[in-house]
C-alpha cells in the first residue's frame, strides 16, 4: 500500500494548501497556498511530517517508496525550472528547510545552495557573471553542510577563514576576492576530509539525502526538545522538510531583491511600504553593505531622492508586485510582510506573513480594514493586542531627540517624563507645591512615600520588581516608573545618586522612560499621546461585545476622574489606607495606634472621621452614581509608624509621647511576616472602633451626596483578608449597627452592600459559608497568589528570573494569573459562593484585573466585573471583549480539517 | 390525641431509661436509669423536651393536657414520699432543674427548696430541729426564685444581706442566727413586693409553675444561645425540666451527706475513696465549715484518725453504699463519682457520673478494668485521653515541695526542671560543658540559639506563643519550656531579669514547670516519671489496633534514640538545617553564602560534606533499618547570618571579609516576608550545589552503613516548599544524577526514594501532577496552615486570643488541624496524588502529627503515617489506635434509640 509522502508546489499550482499544516508544516502549507493562488513561488516540494514520524518509529529509516517519490518530484522540479541537478551549464540549486506545524524559530536546521560542487560552481559563476559570489556561495554551502549534515565543528571553518584573512592582511570577509575564496574552498574541503575521513560529497543527490536526514534529525536535537517542552509542543508532531529551488536576485541588473509591507507598519496608513536592492541577495540588505532603495516614489520623494524607487526604476515588475500585494492582503485578510526576489525580470515570492506593526498601526489597520469591509468588527477587536494599548495612553520620548542613557531598570509603569531628582517624599511635596516638576528617587518606596509619589511626575527606584510597591502604586496612579535600576547608587544622606560615572544631585534634571526602563540625563523631549478616532471607535466596538463590566482601582479624586475618562464603570477597589497617610491624618492615626484603650482610639478616630467622610463625598460625586467598592483598612498598623531613628524622635515629639514609648509600641507591632500578620479584618476584630469609624464616614457621605445631588449612592463596603464566615458575620453585624445608628440620626434610610475580598486560600475553600454574609466577592488575586504559592511579591524578585529560565514559571504569576493553582481556587470559590447565593456579585481587583490573559480567565469563570488601575481601563475593556469572542470561537463547532 | 409529657422516676422504678436522652435530657435519663436499677433515688418526674419545643412553637404556652399530667405526677410523688406539697406538718419540697440532651453546665437555671412558705418553713424547722437551717433555706429560696423566676435583680438581695450583717456587726453569713434570718426573710419579701408589685407567692403549685416556666425560658437566654453556637448545638433540641423531691442530710445524727469514688481518682487503685459529714448538707462540705471525715477505715488510718470513717461509724449504711458502688461500676462500666445523702438512716443517691481522674489513674483504671473483664481492650484505649499521657512522660514537681512562683507563661513543653539562668546560647553551652545545669532565658529564640537550647535543661522566653520557635524546638527536643512569660523583663546587657520584684542574675537558680507555665525561684525538687506496667500494656494494645505508622521528627542522635525508645517506627522529618548551626559548620555555611559563584559555594560545601555524611551515618545506625525521611535545606539563608552589629563584626573577622561586605550580603538576603521568600526548594533551584552536596552525603552515608552493618538503608529524600511539578522534576533529576555518580564511584547500587512536602496550597491543588515525580508526600501542615489561613505562626499570638474569644477559632489552628480549610486541601491532595500513583506513600510531619484530634483526621483521610516530636510518639500511637476505633464505631450500624 503506497502512501503520498511528497507534495509539490509552484509553477501555478500546488498539491497542498494552507489547511494542511499538520501534514506539510507551516512553511510548506503556506508555500503551497501561495502557489495555489497562482503567485510566483520558486517551485519545490514538501516531504511530509508523516515521514518524520516513520523516521523515528523505524530507527531513522525512511519509508521504502520515499526515494521514488522524491526522485519523481525532483524530475518535475528540473523540468519546471529548466535546470538540472548537477548540470555544470545550468545547475539547479535548492534549499532544504525544516517546517513544523507550529513555528519553532531557529530551533532546527537549514541548508542553502545545495547542488553546488566543483563543476556547478563554475556554471553558477558564469550564469551570475559573478565568480566571487559563486565561490562564496560554495564555501558557505560547505561550511553549512559540513556543520549541519557532516557534524564538522563550526570553529574549524572559522579558523581557516580567519587565517586566510590574516594572511591577506584584511579585516572583512568582503575584502576577499574570488581567488581567495576558491583557495578557502580547498582548505574547507581538506577540513571535511580530515574530520570525516571522506571527501566533501560532490553528488547533488547524495547532498540532498544528507540534508533531508539532517533536518529530520534536528527535530530531536536538545535545543528543539527543550523548546518544545517549554512551549508544551508534542514531540510526536514531527517536522516536514521543504526542498525548494533557489532563485537569485544577483544575476545582473535585471535582478533584485526586497521586502515590502502592504500597509505602513509604523503608522498603519494604507500605503505600500518597503525597500529593495538591484542585483543583490537578501543577505546584502542584512549585511548593510549597500543602502537599500525605497519601494515607492512617495517614499523616494519624502527621502529627497525622487526617481530612485522600484516604482520608477522597474515599473512593470512594480505593477506586478502591487497586484500581488492586493491579492495577498485580500487572501490573508491582514497586512502582509513579503519577501521577494526578481531573477532576470521574473518576480518570485519567497515568503509572505502577517506583518509586525506598532501598537498605533495595529489599531489603525484593524479599524480601517473593518471599515473597508475586509474583516468584521469582531475580527478587528482580535487584531489589536490589548496590552499594546498601554503604549498609546502615555507620553513617549520624541524618537528624534538625543539622549544620554545612564542606567536601565525595569519598565514598571509606562510613560516618559522629565523632572528634578528628589530623594524624599517630603522634598517632592515641597518642591511640587512650589511649582517644580520632580522625579522621586528612592531605594524603594513604602506607603509613607505616597504623598511624595502623588507630588512627583515619575518614580525611580534602585530596588524592587515589576510588582514592588513603587511599581504597583505608580501604575495605579498612571505615573511613569522605572524600578529596580540596580546600576544607580543612591547616597540618601548626601542627596545624590551616581550612575554610569555621572553624579546626579538633588535638583538635577533627569528623564525616565517607564516603557523601556531607561534613565537619562537632562530633559529629553516627549510627544503627547493622540487618542485618535480609531481608538474611540475600537473601544466602542469592544463595549458592544463585552459581557463583564470594567471598574477601576482608585481612591484619589484625580485617579477616579482619569478612570472615568478612560471608561471605568465604577470603582472596584478604593483602598482607604491611602487616605490615612496625608500629613494631617497620619498624626491622628498614630495617636490611635498609641492609645491604651478603645476610648483613646475612638478619640483619635473621631478626628479622622470628618476628613474620611469628605474623601468619600468627593469620590461619590465624581463617580456620579456608579458603584463604588470601599475596602476598609487593610495594612498592618506598623506601616503607619516611622521606621528610622531620627523620624521616630520627631514623631514622638509631635505625638507628645516619649520616644521610648513610641519605640516600644513600634517594637510590639513589629512582625516577622507582616503579610501574614495582624492586618485586614483582623484589625477590625481586634480594634472594632476603626471599622466603625470608616463605616460611619461612608454612610454619612452617601447621605450627604444624596442630599446635595439627589442621586442615590449605594456604597459597597468590602472587608479584607477574611478567612472564615464568622469573621465576616461579626464585622457585618457591627457595620449594620453603625448603619442603623446613622439612619436613626439622619431620619433617612440608606441602601448599602457588605461583601468581602477572597484573598486567602481558606476563604476560597469556605466561600459557600462566607457567601451567607456577603453580597459580593472581590478576588484579591495579589494576596491570593502570594498565599497559594507561598511567594512574597516583595521578595520573589530575587529568584523569579531563575524560575523563568528553568521553565518553572512561564509568566510572572503576579502579572498573569496562575490558572492551574490560584485559578482553581477562584473557580471553586465562584461556584461555592454562587451555590449559596445565586445573585452573588463577583469581581476581581488584584493587578490581574488589568492583564488580558487573566481577564480571559475571568470571563471563563463568569465574573461580573474586573477592576484595574485607571490607565489599564481601556486595555481591560478590549480584553474583556476579546475574551467573549475567544470563548465564542472555542465553543463554536470546528470545521473538520480534512 | 393525648401525649405523654411527664415521666416519673424513683420508688424502685422509672418510666424512662438512659437511652431516652433526647426526650428526657441527660439528667432525667440518668435519674430514671438509676431508679430502674432499683437504686434509692429521691423520687421525682421529668417534663420532656417535647414540651420545650411546644413552648417555643406556641408563644410560650404549654400543651393543654400538661397540667393534668403534672398534677397526677405530683400526687404520686406525695404518696411516695409520704409528704404533701404545702403541708405545714410534713412538707414536700422539690428541686426544679433543667436538663438538655447534651451537657450545658451552668448555662440554664435551677430552683431548690421549692415548696417553702410561711407555713412550711416552720414545719421544716421542726422536722430538722434546726430553725436556722429552715429559715436560711427559705431566704435562699426567695433569693433564687426572685432572681430566676420573678426577675428581681440579684444585687438587691445581696444589699439587704450586707446591711443586716453590718447592723449586727458580723462578717460571715454563718454568724447570723435563726432570728436574724427570719428578719431577713421579711426584708426579702418586701424587696419582692417592691420590685414586682405582688407578694412572694405562697402557693407551692404557683411556685412550681413559675419555676417550670423559668427553666424552659432559660433555654433561650443569651448565655445559653452563645454556648450552643460555640458548641454547634442545635437550638431546636430543647431542654427537659426535672422536678425532684428534696432530701436532707441534716435532720439529725442519723443523717449524713457525702461524695465517693469507686476507685482512687488520684492513683487509680481499686479502692473506695471519699468523704462524708454527719448531720450536714452538701453545701456544708463546700463551705468548709467542718472538716469532712473519711469514707473508709483505710483512709482514716492513713490520716491517723482510726475509727472516724463512715465504715466505722455507720457500718450498715456503708455496706449498703458499697453494694451501690459495685452495682454502679458494673452498670456504667467505669469508675463512678457519686453524691449521696442519708436522711434518717435512709440512703439516697443524688447523682452518679463517670469520675474525673488524673492521667495516671485513667491509665491504671482502664488497664485494670480491661484485665478484670469489665471492659474490652478497645474500650480501655478509648478511656485514656492521649494528650494526658504527656503528663506521664516528663519529670514533675514534687507536689509536697514548697515553691515561690515569680512569673507565669505558657506551658509550652511539659516537664519540670531547675538550673542556673543564662542569657545567651554561647554561655549556656560554655556552662553546660563545664558541667553546670542551665536554663536558657531569652526574649525569644532563633535557629542560632539551637546549640544553647541543646546545652540547656530548659528554656524560658519572654515572648512567643505555643508554636513559637522556642516552643516547637523545645517540644521536639522533649525539653521543658515556658514561653511568652511576659511578666519577666530581661536586661540582656546586664545579664539579669526581673519578675515579681525579684532580680534573677546570671547563675541564679530557677525552676520552670513546662506543664503549668510557672517560673519559680530556686530549686524545686521534682519526681521522675514512672512508666508503669500499665503504660506498656496500653501501648501494646494500641499498637495492635492502629493502622497508621508513627514516626518521629528528629535530627539529633539523642532525639532519635528517645523516639525509638518511645516506639517510633521511623523518622518522618529530619530537618537538615539544624545540622548547619554547629560551631564548625556555620563558618563553612557562611562562607558558602558569601561566595560569589557556584565554584566558591561548592568549595565551602565540600567542607560540610563529611560532617553531614557523619550525621546521616549515625542517624541511619540508630534507626537500624527503619525508614528515615530527610528534608533538604529549607530556611532562608539569612537565618545563618548574624543579626546583631557586634556579632556581625566578629563573624566578618572569622570569615576573613570586611564587615561591610558581610553587611551588604545580609542586607541583600533580607526579606520582607521570609516565610514567603527564597527558601525550601527555591534554594535548591537557585543554588543547586547545596542539594547536590546533601544528596551526596545521604547516599554515601547509606552505602557506608550498609558496608558496616550489612543492613540496607533506603533513604527517603524530601524536597520542601514545592509549588509545581516542574520544581520537583528538576531537583529530582539532579538528585538522580548525584545518585548515579555515587553508585558509579562506589561500584554499588543503592535504592532511595524522592518525595516532597505538601505545604503550599498550590502543591495540594497540583498534587496530581506533582505525584508524577514523587514517591511520597509528607503534609507540612505548619506551613500549609500558615499559607491557607494567611497567618504567621510567629505573629498570630497577638490576636489569637481575641479570635478565640470572638468564637472565630475554636482551637488554635497550629495545634489542631483546621479541618474545613487546611483539611480540605490535605484531603484533595491525597486523592489527586493517589489518582496519579496508587502506591504513593502519605504522611504528615507538621506539629499536628502529635495532636490527637488531627491524628483522627489523618486516619479519616487514610494517611500511611504520622510523624511527631519524640515525646509525643506514645500519644500518637494511642491516638492512632483510637482513631481506628472511632471510625469503626462511626461506620457500625447504630442501635435504634427507641
Q: For chain B, say whether A518 makes contact (Cβ under 8 Å).
A: no
Out of A792, A824, A825, name the one closest to residue B673 (CB): A792
pTM: 0.79
What pLDDT is recorded for position A893? 64
CA-based torsion, A609, A610, A613, A619: positive or negative: negative
Distance CA(B682)–CA(A618), nearest Å, equals 47
- Cell of residue A470, nine digits: 513603587
Residues in A touching B820 (Cβ below 8 Å): 762, 765-766
3-state class (DSSP) for residue B488: coil
Put the strands of the sheet holding A256-261 in their side by side order: A293-294, A273-278, A256-261, A336-343, A346-354
Q: For chain B, say whether A371 makes contact (Cβ under 8 Å).
A: no
Q: For chain A, say whether B443 makes contact (Cβ under 8 Å).
A: no
Cβ A847 vs Cβ A814: under 8 Å: yes
Best of B443, B447, B790, B822 to substitute, by most chain A Cβ atoms within 10 angstroms, is B790
Average pLDDT of chain A to the nearest whole number: 90
Q: Do A673 and B678 touch (CB under 8 A)?
A: no
Whether A481 is catalytic is: no
Find cell 410560650 and name the residue: B60
What pLDDT is recorded for position B446? 81
> Taking Cα atoms as reference points, which of A7, A215, A244, A192 lies closest to residue A109?
A215
Task: List pLDDT tens digits, range B611-631.
Answer: 999 999 999 999 999 999 999
Burial status of residue B430 (CB atoms within 10 A of its CB: 0-12, 13-18, 19 or more) = middle
Best of A490, A679, A795 to substitute, by most chain B Cβ atoms within 10 angstroms, is A795
Which of the residues of B are catalytic?
469, 845
Residues in A touching B783 (Cβ below 8 Å): 790
Distance CA(A179)–CA(B173), nearest Å, equals 130
What pLDDT is recorded for position A897? 43
Q: Do A788 and B674 touch (CB under 8 A)?
A: no
Q: For chain A, say whether B802 makes contact (Cβ under 8 Å).
A: yes
Out of A724, A792, A799, name the one closest to residue B808 (CB): A724
Q: For chain B, say whether A227 makes contact (Cβ under 8 Å).
A: no
Cross-strand partners of B260: B274, B338
Q: Do B673 and A787 touch (CB under 8 A)?
A: no
Cβ A412 vs Cβ A474: under 8 Å: yes
Q: For chain B, say whether A342 makes contact (Cβ under 8 Å).
A: no
Residues in A touching B759 (Cβ below 8 Å): 790
Chain A residues 662-691 with a CB less than 8 Å from chain B: 671-678, 682, 685-686
Q: How many CA atoms lie within 13 A of B472 on its CB side?
A: 21
Residues of chain B with pLDDT below 70 are 1, 282-290, 467, 476, 530-532, 644, 893-898
Cβ neighbours of residue A572 closer than 8 Å, sequence gap 6 or more: A551, A552, A553, A629, A778, A843, A844, A845, A849, A865, A866, A867, A868
Cβ A512 vs Cβ A417: under 8 Å: yes
What pLDDT is recorded for position B473? 79
What pLDDT is recorded for position A825? 98
Q: Do A765 and B673 touch (CB under 8 A)?
A: no
What pLDDT is recorded for position A182? 94
Q: For chain A, say whether B634 makes contact (Cβ under 8 Å).
A: no
Best of B666, B761, B786 to substitute, by most chain A Cβ atoms within 10 angstroms, is B761
Q: Do B802 and A686 touch (CB under 8 A)?
A: yes
Out of B678, B762, B795, name the one closest to residue A671 (CB): B795
* Residue B864 to chain A, least CA–CA distance (Å): 25
Q: For chain A, say whether B22 makes contact (Cβ under 8 Å).
A: no
Q: Do B671 and A794 touch (CB under 8 A)?
A: yes
Helix/strand number for chain A, H first, E second: 34, 31
Q: For chain B, say whether A625 makes contact (Cβ under 8 Å).
A: no
What pLDDT is recorded for position A898? 43
Output the CA angle A690-A695-A700, nearest 5 degrees. Answer: 130
Q: Do A675 and B678 touch (CB under 8 A)?
A: no
Interface ipTM above 0.85: no
For residue A858, is it left (φ>0), alpha (ψ between -120 and 50) or beta?
alpha
> Taking Cα atoms as reference points, which of A707, A774, A709, A702 lies closest to residue A738?
A702
Q: Do A671 and B792 touch (CB under 8 A)?
A: yes
Put the strands of the sheet holding B502-505 in their side by side order: B489-491, B496-499, B502-505
Q: Do B761 and A786 touch (CB under 8 A)?
A: no
CA distances from A155 to A144, A603, B643, B657, B735 (A): 12, 80, 52, 42, 35
Residues in A touching B677 (Cβ below 8 Å): 792, 795-796, 798
What pLDDT is recorded for position B871? 87
Question: Nearest 5°: phi and psi at A99?
Answer: -175, 95
Distance CA(B652)–CA(B639), nearest Å, equals 16
Residues in B touching A682 (Cβ below 8 Å): 799, 803
Task: List pLDDT tens digits, range A476-490.
Answer: 677 899 988 888 999
Please pick, among A255, A845, A858, A868, the residue that the annotation labels catalytic: A845
- Cell of residue A562, nine digits: 482619569
* Residue A768 to chain B, least CA–CA distance (Å): 11
Residues of chain A with pLDDT below 70 are 1, 282-290, 467, 476, 530-532, 644, 893-898
Report strand pairing: B410-413 vs B405-408. Answer: unpaired
Residues in B touching A757 (Cβ below 8 Å): none
Q: For chain B, say whether A799 makes contact (Cβ under 8 Å).
A: yes
3-state class (DSSP) for residue A648: helix
What pLDDT is recorded for position B897? 43
Q: Do A788 and B726 touch (CB under 8 A)?
A: no
Amino acid at each position: 500500500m503506497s502512501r503520498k509522502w511528497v507534495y509539490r508546489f509552484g509553477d501555478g499550482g500546488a498539491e497542498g494548501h494552507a489547511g494542511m499544516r499538520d501534514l506539510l508544516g507551516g512553511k510548506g502549507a503556506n508555500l503551497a497556498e501561495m502557489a495555489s493562488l497562482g503567485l510566483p513561488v520558486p517551485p519545490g516540494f514538501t516531504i511530509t511530517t508523516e515521514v518524520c514520524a516513520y523516521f523515528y518509529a523505524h530507527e531513522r529509516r525512511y519509508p521504502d517508496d520515499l526515494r521514488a517519490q522524491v526522485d519523481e518530484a525532483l524530475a518535475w522540479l528540473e523540468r519546471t525550472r529548466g535546470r538540472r541537478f548537477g548540470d555544470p551549464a545550468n545547475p539547479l540549486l535548492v534549499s532544504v528547510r525544516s517546517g513544523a506545524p507550529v513555528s519553532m524559530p531557529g530551533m532546527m536546521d537549514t541548508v542553502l545552495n545545495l547542488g553546488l560542487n566543483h563543476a556547478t560552481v563554475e556554471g553558477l559563476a558564469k550564469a551570475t557573471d559573478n565568480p566571487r559570489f559563486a565561490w562564496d556561495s560554495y564555501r558557505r554551502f560547505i561550511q553549512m553542510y559540513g556543520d549541519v549534515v557532516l557534524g564538522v565543528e563550526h570553529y574549524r571553518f572559522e579558523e581557516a577563514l580567519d587565517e586566510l584573512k590574516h594572511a591577506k592582511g584584511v579585516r572583512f570577509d568582503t575584502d576577499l576576492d574570488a581567488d581567495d575564496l576558491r583557495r578557502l574552498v580547498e582548505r574547507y574541503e581538506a577540513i571535511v576530509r580530515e574530520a570525516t575521513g571522506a571527501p566533501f560529497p560532490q553528488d547533488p543527490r547524495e547532498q540532498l539525502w544528507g540534508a533531508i536526514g539532517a533536518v529530520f534529525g534536528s527535530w530531536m536535537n536538545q535545543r528543539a526538545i527543550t523548546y518544545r517542552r517549554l512551549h508544551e509542543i508534542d514531540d510526536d508532531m514531527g517536522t516536514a522538510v521543504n526542498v525548494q529551488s533557489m532563485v537569485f536576485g544577483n544575476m545582473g541588473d535585471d535582478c533584485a531583491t526586497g521586502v515590502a509591507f502592504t500597509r505602513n507598519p509604523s503608522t498603519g496608513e494604507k500605503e505600500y511600504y518597503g525597500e529593495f536592492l538591484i542585483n543583490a541577495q537578501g543577505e546584502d540588505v542584512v549585511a548593510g553593505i549597500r543602502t537599500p532603495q525605497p519601494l515607492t516614489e512617495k517614499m523616494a520623494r519624502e527621502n529627497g531622492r525622487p526617481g530612485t524607487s522600484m516604482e520608477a526604476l522597474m515599473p512593470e515588475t512594480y505593477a506586478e508586485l502591487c497586484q500581488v500585494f492586493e491579492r495577498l492582503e485580500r487572501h490573508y485578510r491582514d497586512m502582509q510582510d513579503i519577501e521577494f526576489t526578481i531573477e532576470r525580470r521574473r518576480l518570485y515570492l519567497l515568503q509572505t506573513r502577517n506583518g509586525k506593526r506598532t501598537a498605533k498601526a495595529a489599531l489603525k489597520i484593524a479599524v480601517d480594514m473593518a471599515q473597508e469591509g475586509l474583516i468584521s468588527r469582531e475580527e478587528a477587536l482580535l487584531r489589536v493586542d490589548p496590552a499594546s494599548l498601554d503604549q498609546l495612553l502615555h507620553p513617549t520620548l520624541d524618537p528624534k531627540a538625543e539622549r544620554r542613557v545612564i542606567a536601565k531598570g525595569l519598565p514598571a509603569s509606562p510613560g516618559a517624563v522629565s523632572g528634578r531628582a528628589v530623594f524624599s517624599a517630603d522634598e517632592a511635596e515641597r518642591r511640587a507645591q512650589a511649582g517644580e516638576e520632580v522625579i522621586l528617587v528612592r531605594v524603594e518606596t513604602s506607603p509613607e512615600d505616597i504623598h511624595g509619589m502623588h507630588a512627583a511626575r515619575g518614580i525611580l527606584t534602585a530596588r524592587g520588581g515589576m510588582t514592588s510597591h513603587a511599581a504597583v502604586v505608580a501604575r495605579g496612579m498612571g505615573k511613569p516608573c522605572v524600578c529596580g535600576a540596580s546600576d544607580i547608587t543612591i547616597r540618601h544622606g548626601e542627596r545624590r545618586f551616581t550612575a554610569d560615572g555621572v553624579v546626579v544631585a538633588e535638583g538635577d534634571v533627569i528623564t525616565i522612560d517607564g516603557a523601556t526602563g531607561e534613565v537619562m540625563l537632562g530633559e529629553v523631549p516627549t510627544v503627547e499621546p493622540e487618542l485618535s478616532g480609531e481608538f474611540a471607535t475600537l473601544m466602542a466596538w469592544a463595549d458592544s461585545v463585552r459581557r463583564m463590566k470594567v471598574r477601576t482601582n482608585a481612591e484619589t479624586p484625580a485617579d477616579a476622574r482619569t478612570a472615568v475618562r478612560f471608561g471605568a464603570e465604577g470603582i472596584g477597589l478604593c483602598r482607604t489606607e491611602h487616605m490615612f497617610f496625608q500629613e494631617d491624618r497620619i498624626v491622628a492615626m498614630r495617636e490611635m495606634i498609641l492609645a491604651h484603650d478603645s476610648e483613646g482610639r475612638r478619640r483619635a478616630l473621631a478626628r479622622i472621621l470628618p476628613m474620611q467622610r469628605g474623601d468619600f463625598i468627593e469620590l461619590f460625586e465624581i463617580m456620579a452614581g456608579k458603584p463604588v467598592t470601599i475596602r476598609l483598612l487593610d495594612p498592618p498598623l506598623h506601616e503607619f509608624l516611622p521606621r528610622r531613628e531620627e523620624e521616630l524622635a520627631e514623631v514622638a515629639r509631635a505625638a507628645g509621647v516619649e520616644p521610648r514609648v513610641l519605640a516600644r509600641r513600634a517594637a510590639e507591632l513589629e512582625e516577622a511576616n507582616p503579610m501574614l500578620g495582624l492586618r485586614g479584618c483582623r484589625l477590625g476584630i481586634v480594634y472594632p472602633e476603626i471599622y466603625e469609624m470608616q463605616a460611619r464616614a461612608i454612610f454619612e457621605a452617601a447621605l450627604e451626596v444624596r442630599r446635595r445631588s439627589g442621586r442615590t449612592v449605594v456604597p459597597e463596603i468590602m472587608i479584607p483578608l477574611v478567612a472564615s464566615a464568622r469573621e465576616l458575620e461579626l464585622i457585618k453585624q457591627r457595620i449594620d449597627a453603625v448603619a442603623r445608628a446613622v439612619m436613626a440620626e439622619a431620619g433617612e434610610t440608606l441602601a448599602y452592600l457588605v461583601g468581602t475580598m477572597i484573598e486567602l486560600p481558606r476563604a476560597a475553600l469556605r466561600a459557600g459559608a462566607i457567601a451567607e454574609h456577603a453580597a459580593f466577592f472581590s478576588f484579591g488575586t495579589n494576596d491570593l497568589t502570594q498565599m497559594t504559592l507561598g511567594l512574597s511579591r516583595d521578595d520573589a524578585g530575587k529568584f523569579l528570573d531563575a524560575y523563568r529560565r528553568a521553565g518553572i514559571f512561564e509568566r510572572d504569576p503576579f502579572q498573569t494569573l496562575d490558572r492551574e493553582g490560584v485559578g482553581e481556587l477562584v473557580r471553586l470559590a465562584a461556584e461555592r459562593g454562587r451555590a449559596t447565593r445565586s445573585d452573588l456579585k463577583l469581581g476581581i481587583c488584584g493587578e490581574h484585573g488589568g492583564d488580558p490573559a487573566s481577564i480571559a480567565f475571568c470571563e471563563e469563570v463568569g465574573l461580573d466585573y474586573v477592576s484595574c488601575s485607571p490607565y489599564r481601563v481601556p486595555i481591560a475593556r478590549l480584553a474583556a471583549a476579546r475574551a467573549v469572542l475567544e470563548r465564542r470561537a472555542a465553543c463554536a463547532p470546528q470545521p473538520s480539517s480534512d
